[in-house]
Structure 1
Amino acid sequence: MIAHSGTILSTDSACVYLLPGYIPPKPGDDWTRFVCISDTHSNEYPLPDGDILLHAGDLTMWGTIRELHSAMNWLNSQPHPTKICIAGNHDMALDPYLDTISVKEYNELKEYVKRDEFQNGRLHYLEYESLTVRTSIGKEWKVFGSPGSLVYKGAGGFQYRGSRQGQEICRKIPLDTEVLLSHTPPYKIHDTTRRGKSAGCEELTERMNVLEKCRLHVFGHIHEACGASINDGGRVSVNAAMRRKPSATIVDLRNW
């Protein structure tokens, strides 16, 4: 596991910039720059430029319709050529199994987050679904977004209990996924709470073991565990929670 407490992690195929400050240009034209954020909770932050902006959930604090509209509009206003987001446990209005809003309001909200204006602005909301995106130089990336998280603190959206539900959620992730957005961390990877507990999902860790093509995994949820690492196989893992670290994590991946 390649990890570092400073500002930069680096291998032949990946560079990760962890703290605010000067961000050097991409290593070359044959690299893709990902701007990784999570757990913005209705806050708006200045973001660095990049090819693809990734938001790993908890767009809002209270999960209201108004908050979700504001968060989506903020993301849509960003200049990144492609922007991808998922929900988190705070984004309760987007969970069809909760009754925080009426059925009519829910249907209107789902139409809102999938509306043509966002698609035309290349902002994509994913809910247990895949998306293939293409950069300006023609590199394609296969992305999957999973808002689910193991029950951790009280009620919330997209939460599951026990290994059976966890396995059902994690089996939805296709084997050809190259970039994974999940709200929950995997177990034992940037998931340690302030009380020293590993709050990540064991079933997600098991699934990650067979996702051989996955080169970047971005998540959040456990704010105090924000950080990044690169494993021996070259996969970059980023807990991009902004509540404790109000700056984006930059990940450059070589195109191959």
Structure 2
Amino acid sequence: MPAVIHTSYDIENPPPRLDPSWTRFVCISDTHSTITAVPPGDVLLHGGDLSSWGTYKQLRKTLDWLMTLPHELKVIIAGNHDHCLDLELKSQSWFGGLDPEDVDQALSFVRSDDVKASGLVYLDHESTAITSSNGVQWTVYGSPAAPVYVEGAFQYFDRKEAKEEWARIPDNVEILMTHTPPHGILDLSKRGKQAGCRELMSKLQSLENCRLHVFGHIHEGFGAEIREMKKGENKWETVFVNAAVAMGNLPIIIDMKKD
């Protein structure tokens, strides 16, 4: 499946698609309640950390902004900062500062009719089929999960939990959205550590239909690359995108065409 990556461009005059048969994905992540310039495209993909510290007020600011963007389809997931979207945290008294009402409001609004009417789709360990404006259908799976790192939402604590988490990804997924990077791909932290998930990387080596994987979480790992994947004698290419814009980076544009 052909793909073209744009990481450096004029935000006021982004490069055109080769022709209308290509689908333009605009990838962002880790906006942390900040409104940023986003180029137009067919599908917007947000890799989580919609808010700074997980309050409903912060989440609502981001959702209100995303709803105004011109992309016909906008698919989003949460991240470890988005506490108010993690139902499990509502009943955990150890998690200081989280108002249980924030959880109720957030989970209600993110799946509300108004949000859906704007073309925004929220994925929480689930998949959906989307059809871009050129009539091409894509299967998308989204998960907010990430390895444990201090206090945060949607975190798993050991290898067993990680395996269980990524076993949920269906084999037919074409576009994968996770908050964490896979181990060894665009995951180098400021301390020089490869902070991505090994079990996610292992799972990716069996996802023969996956053509685009969008994530964030490790801000310093921003970038995109195409890697050849292999399972037995089968080979395929996957575009990997760390779309974290928190350090002032541009949204990453990925143009893709189905074979």
TM-score by length of 2: 0.91
Contact 1:150–1:160, Cα closer than 8 Å, also in 2 = yes
Per-residue deviation at 1:29?
A: 1.6
CA distance in 2 between counterparts of 1:20 and 1:98 reads: 40
The answer to whether residue 250 in structure 2 is matched with residue 253 in structure 1 is: no
Residue 241 (structure 1) aligns with = 244
Residue 23 (structure 2) aligns with = 32
CA distance in 2 between counterparts of 1:56 and 1:203 reads: 19
Q: CA RMSD in A?
A: 1.3
Choose 100-109 or 71-80, whichever is displaced more.
100-109
CA distance in 1 between counterparts of 2:7 and 2:99 reads: 41
Query: Residues 105 and 224 of structure 1: is their aligned pair in 2 closer, same or farther, counting only changes over 3 Å?
Result: closer
The answer to whether residue 221 in structure 2 is matched with residue 231 in structure 1 is: no
Deviations 1:126-180 (A, max 9, x none): 100111111122110000110000113x110101111101011101111100001
Which residue identity does 2:241 align to in structure 1? V
Q: Look up the SS of the partner of 2:103 in the other structure.
A: helix
Equivalent residue runs for 1:81-230 within 5 Å? 81-99=72-90, 101-152=98-149, 154-230=150-226
Which residue identity does 1:76 align to in structure 2? M
Residue 46 (structure 1) aligns with = 37
Contact 1:17–1:251, Cα closer than 8 Å, also in 2 = yes
Q: Look up the SS of the partner of 2:181 in the other structure.
A: coil
Per-residue deviation at 1:98?
A: 1.3
Which residue identity does 2:239 align to in structure 1? V
Residue 13 (structure 1) aligns with = 2
Equivalent residue runs for 1:42-81 within 5 Å? 42-81=33-72
CA distance in 2 between counterparts of 1:52 and 1:36 reads: 9
CA distance in 2 between counterparts of 1:241 and 1:77 reads: 21
CA distance in 1 between counterparts of 2:107 and 2:66 reads: 16
Residue 7 (structure 1) aligns with = none
Per-residue deviation at 1:103?
A: 4.6
Per-residue deviation at 1:61?
A: 0.6
Per-residue deviation at 1:243?
A: 1.3
Residue 231 (structure 2) aligns with = none
Query: Residues 94 and 159 of structure 1: is their aligned pair in 2 closer, same or farther, counting only changes over 3 Å?
Result: same
Per-residue deviation at 1:255?
A: 2.4
Structure 2 spans left out of the alignment, 5+ residues = 91-96, 229-235
Q: Look up the SS of the partner of 2:220 in the other structure.
A: helix
Contact 2:6–2:253, Cα closer than 8 Å, also in 1 = yes
Identity of aligned residues (%): 43
Equivalences, count = 244
Per-residue deviation at 1:227?
A: 0.7
CA distance in 2 between counterparts of 1:23 and 1:109 reads: 33
Per-residue deviation at 1:234?
A: 2.3
Contact 1:84–1:125, Cα closer than 8 Å, also in 2 = yes
Contact 1:181–1:218, Cα closer than 8 Å, also in 2 = yes
Per-residue deviation at 1:113?
A: 0.3
Residue 6 (structure 1) aligns with = none
Q: Look up the SS of the partner of 1:251 in the other structure.
A: strand
Residue 5 (structure 1) aligns with = none
Per-residue deviation at 1:123?
A: 0.4
Deviations 1:103-133 (A, max 9, x none): 5542332111000111111101110011111
TM-score by length of 1: 0.92
Q: Look up the SS of the partner of 1:168 in the other structure.
A: helix
Q: Look up the SS of the partner of 2:241 in the other structure.
A: strand
